[in-house]
Amino acid sequence: MSFDLLIEKIREKNNPTVMGLDPVLDYIPAQIKKRALAEYSDDFKAAGEAIFEFNKGLIDAAAEYIPAVKPQSAFYEMYGIDGLIALEKTIAYAKAAGLYVILDVKRNDIGSTAEAYARAYLGETELFGSSKAATPVDCVTVNPYLGIDGVKPFVDICNERDKGIFILVKTSNKSSGDFQDLTVGDKPLYRHVADKVNEWGSGSISNGYSCCGAVVGATYPSQLAELREALPNTFFLIPGYGAQGGTAKDIACAFDRHRLGAIVNSSRGLMCAYQKAGDDGRNFKACTRDAVIEMRDDINAEIGG
């Protein structure tokens, strides 16, 4: 139920981190792009092929050490249908490698439309007398601005099918305070969202955590500590480590005494490890593997893993 599968994989790898897969073409090693361009004359097709090849290499390099991957939908939608085909292939490849897949889509809408999104990614689509999964992942991110109508269809499918969602509470970006920090009564808006996340997930607690997780940025460590206290049964997805400035010290407070309760994302830091190492891209897999291990050890050193 809920995040049991993620928790199992975190324990198995002794690693509470997730590799973001945000495939900007600039991140992809030259030799992969060259091969894709030789094979496809259509630029979008070549981009889709290069993205999938790169993702395969990243997954091959990391799968032994990491419990999960988090593809960011924007960076696939940006390449049209060919990008979305690369996303589907990446999801299937990651699942086959035993990884938990969090699809970062931040979807949100009125009830009937939210249900269509929930079915698309966590459930099944009704077709002609049967139903099939369109783009099956383990977990998606959800934006709460429309209230419970937009979240309940996801929660219902989570409960039916042992899936999870991470709801945006306090995001990692600089302007997250524009609305999230506005004071409502005696506390900021993000705390009201947190209270609702707590309420919405209350019927689905397993292994100490409900199916409604929360996105809380590593870039706001005091809010992270405050939210950990307020939400003892909420699993956190923590972006903002590494390239965005968050450190292992900043996020240590998000974990419980079993070193669970949070998963920390790094995208560029792992995908572009070869660039940082001064490699020309021929050894990107080894560089990513080293960076995955380094991140794991960095965080485990702080949380006693």
Catalytic residue set = 106
* Contact window for its own copies (CB under 8 A) among 8-16, 102-110, 154-162, 224-232: 102-110
Q: What is the 3-state secondary structure (H, E, C) of 47-107?
A: HHHHHHHHHHHHHHHHCCCCCEEEEECHHHHCCHHHHHHHHHHHHHHHHHCCCEEEEEEEE
x/- binding map, residues 58-77, to its own copies, per CB under 8 A? Answer: --------------x-xx-x
**Residues 20 to 49: which contact its own copies by CB under 8 A?**
22, 24-25, 33, 37, 43-44, 46-47
Place of tokens 């699809």: 103
| Smallest gap from residue 210 Cβ to its own copies (A) | 18
If the CB atoms of residues 15 and 55 are measured against its own copies, the closer one turns out to be: 55
Q: What secondary structure does DSSP assign to 207-246, as a single string? A: TTB-SEEEEE-TT-HHHHHHHHHH-TT--EEE--BGGGSB
CB-nearer residue toward its own copies: 46 or 61: 46
H or E segment and range at residue 276: helix 273-276
| x-marked contacts with its own copies along 108-137 as a string, rule CB under 8 A | xxxx-xx-xx-xxx---xxxx-x-x-xx--
Residue 85 structure tokens: 């085909």
For residue 17, what is the DSSP state?
E
Helix (H, G, I), strand (E, B) or coil at 130: coil
Binding string to its own copies for residues 149 to 188, with x set by CB under 8 A, is what? Answer: xx-----------------x--xxxxxxxxxx-xxxx---
What is d(CA 305, CA 290) in angstroms, rounded to the nearest whole number?
18
Residue 230 binds to its own copies (criterion: CB under 8 A): no
Binding site for its own copies (CB under 8 A): 22, 24-25, 33, 37, 43-44, 46-47, 72, 74-75, 77-81, 83-85, 88, 106-111, 113-114, 116-117, 119-121, 125-128, 130, 132, 134-135, 143-150, 168, 171-180, 182-185, 189, 192-193, 196, 239
